[in-house]
Each structure stands twice: as C-alpha cells, then as structure tokens.
Structure 1
Amino acid sequence: MNAKELKQVKEQLKEGHFPQWMVTDPDIYKLEQDKIFAKTWLFIGHESEVKEPGDYVTRMMAEDPVLMMKNKQGEINVFLNSCSHRGTRLCTEDYGNKKAHTCPYHGWTYSLDGDLIGVVAGNKVFGEKMDKGDWGLRPIPRVESYQGMIFGNLDPEAEPLEDYLGNMKWYFDIMLGRSDGGMEVWGVPHRWVAKANWKMTSENFAADPYHVQTTHRSAVELELTPKDPMYASYGHQVVLDNGHGINVITSETGRSRLKYQGMPEDMWPMFERNLTENQQEVFSRVTNFVGGVFPNLSFISTQSGSEGNGHNHLNFRVWRPLGPDKIEILVWFMIDKALPYEFKKKSYRGFLNTFGAAGTLEQDDTENWARIVEASQGKMARDRSLNYNNVINYLMGFDNLEPDKEFPGPGTAYPSCYTDHIARSMHRYWLSLITADMEEEEKV
C-alpha cells in the first residue's frame, strides 16, 4: 500500500466504507502477520485446561506453534513449541500430561520449566563447552492472564494485557468472574478449517447481530430463536478501545425473559457478592452477550439451544489465519464451576447443537464466510482504483444513532445492536496498526 492508497482508504473508512480489495489481498495479509499478530495480545487457552503439574496443551499464535504447560510449582508457562537443536516441533500432541518433553528428532529432553535436561550422547558429541543452560526452550516474550484467560504477545514491549483489554474487563468480570470458583473448560476445543478471512469472521461475532434473522433462518423455523426480525437488535452495541466491542442483547422490553440468563436461583447470591450493582443490572437483563477482543478472539454467551432457554452456554473462539482466504477455528465451551453437573451437561448439549463444529448455527455462518472470499478474489473486486467503487457498506447507524448516556456499563453504548459502530471501530484500529510505519514516515 502506498501513501496515495492509504489516504484513499482513510477517506473511505470515514465515510462508512471498506475497500473490498483489502479483504483477501496477499500483501495485506503479510502486513497483518507483522503488524497485528506479532504485536497484539492473542488468546492461548484457559487455566482450567492445565490443572495438574505436567498438564500441557499445544496451540498456535497465528503462525507460531506454542506449548503451554504447568510446572511442579503450579506455574503456567508458554514456550515456542520448537526444539532448540534443529527447530523441530517438539510436542505434536494436542494435550496431555508429561514429566518432561523429548524431541522426536534427536532426543533432546526439556523439563516442565523449559530447561534442557537431557542430550543424547551428551559430552561425547558436543564436548564440554556446550552449556545446557543456554539451550532451553524459548519462552513467549509476554504471557499474562485475566479471569483465567491466558494470552500471549510476541512483542516484549507490548502494553500490559489489562491495559490492552481496557473496559472489556468489566464485561469479562460478568461472564467469567460472576460465580465462586470462576469458569472451567469442558472437553477440548473444537477445531476445524474453513474458507474465510479472519477479519470477516471476527467482525461477524463482534459487530454483526444484523445477520441473525436471515443467516440463521433455520433456527427461527426450529423455534430456537424468536420470529421477530428485530429480535437481535434490542439492547446496546458497546464500542470499546483497541477495536474491542460487545453487544448486550436484551428483549424488546429491555429485559430478558429469564433473569441472569436462566441460571439457577441458588447461584444468584454469588452474583450479588461478586458483581457490582451496575454489573448485576446488565447481567440480569441480558439475553445474549456477543462480542470480541481484537484481533481474533470472539465470544458468545447465549440462552439459545435445543435444551431450552433454561440452560445458557458460553463459548470463546479464535479465528486463526491460515492465509488471506482460510482460517482455523477453535471453540472452547466454558461453564461455571459452581453449577450442578446436570445443568452443565444440558448446557453442553445445547452448545453442540448450535455452536459446535457441526452445530446448526455454525454451519449457517461458514457458508456465508466462504461466499465473501469467493466474491472478493476476482479481478474486478481486487481492483484498487476507483473505477468500480469497490467498497462494502458499513453505514448502519452512521448518522442516525446517538450514544445512550444512561447505559450502566463502560464504553460508548448505542441503543441498538443493528448498527456498524463496532465494525467501523475495528476497521479503523486495524488500519492504524498495519499502516503505523507509513504514518510515521508521512510525518517525517
């Protein structure tokens, strides 16, 4: 992207437009890897996935394989999943428990602290000068957690995680910190590959309840969601800093039919102990929370599902880019530790039937994401000039929706979820990151 194109894109974003050529452009994708995924906080996993010393999971931070494991002292560490000898991926399993990790290539062995503790043939082949202390696993530069959610950052100079999350912490406290003992992951993350661009999937969850009644028409016909075409619009869309955002969806009356998303009444005293009055007010009214943390973490807490509205479920998901037109989707099901087992089981079934890998709603979404990619890869759609007016529309609420100053939570809250305020904020922040160096050069 040159200075002229940058200026053009900035103007288009100001007008509520987004250039379609930027969706799947390979050069833009390379910039995203360097300027976004190497610089922002990326979700790795939840502390409940590594309960005991020796427990580990392997994940990907965009293109970097990582190994998250708990040591004997109960600390959770994250390392590049690469042997320091020849760079081979050290651990190939998705999860498990080991006392140490041995490389399948040449047999180098590492402790739960990442220290190199065993070298095949040792001094006989490497001599006395090689210090094993210099050849341990390489730790991810920054690893921090919030409410049990573990994030990593490849930039050692990155701002602290809590600063990056900003006011999203207030909403995370409702979803993740409302009950005694916090949350736990049930099962292992669902994983599958889809034809899609990560920007569009992130936007779909964080910013687009407008698609619900059309894309998920099957859910309406199965009576999993109401027939009212405005159903997903009621409530507030809340714009937060750093491209984050959340939709607090209620009902037409401004209140959910079921208080606290249908959670058992004997849990309510916990909510009152752990949440502020304003947080209780928002949680007691909400039907669905759906939103995202930039760049590629999304979440939904919903009452919908075949098990009935009495069994809500929470899932977090990562849209890992595999290229400009392909992603790997990882979905974690999380539930309050304090809930009865039967409630957890029914909630999990509801999740599987809707937002699991083969769930009804999940299949609806992936079809549309593939169509976006298909329509954005041709010569006409990729033309960077103004010849074809190659922009897509983000004009909902652009000039006819004012913030609701009475909303009890932080952020800029708009009194409808059928608006593009979060999407526009995401795209502006995205552009600021991938063009940071260019903007500095322009100032000079």
Structure 2
Amino acid sequence: MALYDPVREELVKADPEKGSFRVHRNAYRSAEVFEQEKQQIFAKCWLYIGHDTELKKKGDFHARRVGGRDLIFIRDKKGEVRAHYNTCTHRAAKVCRERTGNARNFTCPYHGWVFSSEGNLVSQNAQTGYAEGINADKHLDLRSVDRLEQYRGFWFVNYNPKAISLYDYLDGARDQIDALMDQTEGQQIILSGEHTYSIRANYKLLCENSYDGYHLFPVHASYFDYLRDQMVGTPGEGLIDKTLATYNSAGCARSLGNGHAVLDSFVPTGRPVAQWLPSMGADTKDEIEARYANLVSRMGEERAKYIAECQKNLVIFPNLVINDILSVTVRIIEPESENKIRVTAWAMGPDDESEQLRALRLDNFVSFLGPAGFGSPDDIEMLEICQDAADHTPIEWSEISKGFGKAEDPLYAEGAPDDEIQMQAYWTMWDRVMRGIDTLETR
C-alpha cells in the first residue's frame, strides 16, 4: 500500500474554522510519496516543454526531460511542432544526444536506425533479416507524446490521452500569460542562453518560494540595500523604504484555479517593459515611456498600468514558473528525486526592443534570478536548509496558514502579498490530484 492513503494518513489538513492549513513533511521527504507523484501528478498534468520561438526554423530541436521522461521538442520539415520520446524503437538507445540543434533526421548511435523529423522510421541500416512490411503499422516509428498543445506560444505535453484541454487546464493563468504576451505589438521571444543548476530540495519547496511574498524582505535584505544605494542622489531616493511601508496594501496574492496562482506586487526595481526609473539610465527613458504610451493606446490605462508596473510571480501547477518582474524568467523545476531538483531557466523579451533595453533586461535576468545573482543564492540556501531539517528532524507538520479561511474555495482565493493563499491553492490541488478526487480528465 502506498504511503499516501487517505484512510491511513492525510498529508494535507485544512480547518477553515481554526484558520489552520498544514502539510505533512512526508510530502517533501518521502521517496514513496515521490513515486506516487510520478503517477498521479506528472503523468496527468500539463507540463511545459518549450516556447514556439525556440523552434525558429524547420528542423530546430531541443532534447529535454519533462516529468521524468526524455523528449525531443522539434519543428519538423513540414513546420509542425512535435514532441517525440527520445528512444529508439529497436533497443532503447537515445536517438538524440545533443541538447539542441537542427536536424533533418536522427540516427541511433547503437545500430544506425534512422528516423525523420516527423518520427518516421527511414532506415534500419540493414538489407536483410527483417520481414517485409514489418513496420506497416508504424509501430517502429518514434513514438510521440499523447497530447501536445500550446497557448500563445507556450507548448505543453500531457502523458494522459484523456486529459482536459490545455486551455481549460490553464484556467485563470491564461490572463497572466496574456498580460505577458501583450507587452508588445511584436513577438515575445525566448532569448539565447539558459541557466541550468541543481538544488538539494523537493521541487515543491521551490514552487512555494517562487511566489512567496512573505520571505521577500527577511531573505533578500542585501538586494534592497543594493537598490537603496543605486537610488542615492536620484529622484528615487527613499522609494525603497516607502515601498516596504506600503507593500502589504499595494498588491495581492491570487489563486487562479487548478492549483495555479500569482503574486502581484509593486517593488520599485524598474521594468524594461514600460516602467522607467532613474537608476535605469537616461538613455532608456524615452523608449520606455513610449512603450508605456503604446500600451495605454492598445489596452487602456488600467490594463496598461497592470502590465507595466505590477511585478507578477506566476506558478502554473505543478512545476512551471513565469517571473514577470524586473525581467522575465521562464523556469522549469524538474524533480529528480524527493530531495533533488534540476532547474532550467530562460530570459524572455520583446523582439522589437532596442539594444539598450535588451542589455538591461539580460542584466536583470542574471543579476537577480541568475544562479549567482542577488536573489537565487539566498533562496537556494533557504530551500536546502528547509529540506535538510525536514529530512533529519521528527517534526511532522509544516504550517502554511497565513491568510487561510478568507475564501470558500482555496482554488479561487485572494489575499495580501505576504499571505500564503498561493501555497494553499497549490497544496489543495496537489491533494485532490494525489487522492484521485480531481482526475483532470474529460468526462
């Protein structure tokens, strides 16, 4: 019997009357729970594989591990986007050993079988021995994932053929993606380069951290000191302390359905999209203000202000993070075990911005959320000491109760920026999917 059994043990306990929301620490540290997550979460939820702009030309591909399965994300010679399992149908070897590139065909290094970009078996590298028509039913072609769908260029896979549509799955997160993609009349693109690193922690700890407004000032104090120093002698001097004083009333945390949630906050770091600060340099002011005026003309004042000035930390259940803050970071959190994750992150930006704004955007991508930036090292240290303590102490429960009980349904709730309603939404969905209450399947 699996450890996660609602008859024997509950891993999530919510008591709205007492305002208590607790998660058992076995959800972070148990190998048995992780094995069940593979079957219940990562085999049934929509998982991000890549963005449309990463496949610019026919034949462009990326080999990626998604939900524990090796895939080839490719634009075939007809221009269609596909996701093949990265394994030869002969004797299981990987047919693609490069992380990225461009290819018309993939040749298995073991016995030389050749497959087209569409996945068709082209050659078995042998003239004799195989029965005529052995692949008439196409069973020796590369196998593709059961479901592959996109929303505004963000491609997701699902290993469950009965899964609900990606559109329905994203629910309220669609509006957050829209706010990102509508920043420009041009195209939002994934910029070259990526960050890849490992953390000794459960994947859900990083999901929690990614939109946790409660930890911002205790953990990232040195970053705010840096911002203060940048603004000394400028019209922005004193802005950081003013922000700290009004932080709880200026933004909010919102759960968006199906376990997705966003932290909306107003931190004066400046945003290349359309929020200029003196610390960003006088040479960028005209362009940024022009971009804001364009937003107003297209979207109206209220929507433009939200897109330009609000920093948005979005987590799409179970393991995609889109941080639209001082830069835009798209981050996949791939679990490798119950206490180890591999993180891959990309910068995103408009294809029509100037070299000055692009340089500013990339500097922000590296300097805060990069693995050696101001933010990520602080966060990584916190995640690893959380995991270490969970693994080596007998304390059973973590208390994630801040702001709980204000809404009838945790999957659609709203709270202050430093509340924990985002995590409550995530864990509510996790609990429902793990116990089979919500199958995420069409009826």
Q: TM bucket by the smaller chain?
A: 0.7 to 0.9
Task: Please name the residue that 1:4 is paired with.
Answer: 7
Partner of 1:125: 129
Cα separation, 1, equivalents of 2:5 and 2:199 = 31
Task: State how far apart, in whole Å, the 2-side matches of 1:259 and 1:87 are.
Answer: 46
Extract structure 1 runs of 4+ deviating beyond 6 A. 255-259
Correspondence for 1:113: 118
Secondary structure at the residue paired with 1:107? coil
Residue equivalent to 1:369: 383
Change (3 A) 1:174 1:276: farther
Q: Which amino acid aligns with 2:255?
A: V
2:264 to 244, 248, 253: 248
The residue aligned with 2:421 is 421
Corresponding residue SS for 1:191: strand
What letter matches 1:328 in structure 2? R
Match in the other structure for 1:386: none
Q: Distance in 2 between matches of 1:273 and 1:36?
A: 42
For 1:149, the equivalent position in structure 2 comes to: 154
The alpha carbon displacement at 1:281 in A equals 4.1
Unaligned runs of 5+ in 1: 304-312, 382-389, 404-409
Q: Give the distance between the partners of 1:356 and 1:188, measured in 2 at CA.
A: 12
Indicate the residue corresponding to 1:26 in structure 2: 31
Map 1:358-397 → 2, pairs under 5 A = 358-378=372-392, 380-381=394-395, 390-397=396-403
Alignment partner, residue 103 of structure 2: 98
1:249, distance to aligned residue in structure 2 (A): 0.7
Of all paired residues, the percent bearing the same amino acid is 24
Query: TM-score, structure 2 length as denominator?
Result: 0.85
Number of equivalences: 409
Secondary structure at the residue paired with 1:37?
Answer: coil
- Residue number among 306, 325, 348 corresponding to 2:362 in the alignment: 348
- Offset at residue 357 of structure 1 (A): 2.4
1:296 aligns with 2:319: yes
1:321 aligns with 2:344: no
Q: Secondary structure at the match of 2:94?
A: coil
The match for 2:68 is 63
Mapped partners of 1:363, 1:223: distance in 2 = 17
Secondary structure at 2:295 match in 1: helix
SS in 1 for 2:215: helix
Change in Cα spacing, 1:336 to 1:411, as seen in structure 2 (3 Å) is farther
Cα distance change, pair 176–93 in 1 and its aligned pair in 2 (3 A): same
2:254–2:412: 8 Å Cα contact kept in structure 1?
Answer: yes
Q: CA deviation at 1:10?
A: 3.4
1:188–1:84 CA distance, 2 compared to 1 (3 A): farther
State which drifts further: 39-48 or 173-182.
173-182
- Mapped to 1, the partners of 2:337 and 2:271 lie a distance apart of 42
* Aligned residues of 1:39 and 1:158 also touching (Cα < 8 A): yes
Inter-CA distance 342–256: structure 2 relative to 1 (3 Å threshold)? closer
Gaps of 5+ in 2: 229-238, 277-286
SS of 1:127's equivalent in the other structure is coil
Q: Is the 8 A contact 1:250 1:256 kept in 2?
A: no
Deviation at 1:355, TM superposition (A): 1.1
Distance 1:54 1:2, change over 3 A: closer
Q: Assess, with a 3 A threshold, how the Cα gap between structure 1 residues 131 and 273 changes in structure 2: closer, same or farther.
A: farther
Q: Residue 163 of structure 1 aligns to which amino acid in structure 2?
A: D
Give the 3 Å change call, closer, same or farther, for CA 266–341 of structure 1 in structure 2: same
Offset of residue 6 of structure 1: 4.0
Contact 2:13 2:22 in 1 (8 A): no
Larger mean Cα displacement after TM superposition, 14-23 or 96-105? 14-23
Deviations for 1:110-142, whole angstroms, at most 9, x for unmatched residues? Answer: 111111111111x41313242263311111111
SS at match of 1:16: strand
Residue correspondence of structure 1 range 106-255 to structure 2 within 5 A: 106-121=111-126, 123-131=127-135, 133-206=138-211, 208-223=212-227, 226-227=240-241, 229=244, 233=248, 234-250=250-266
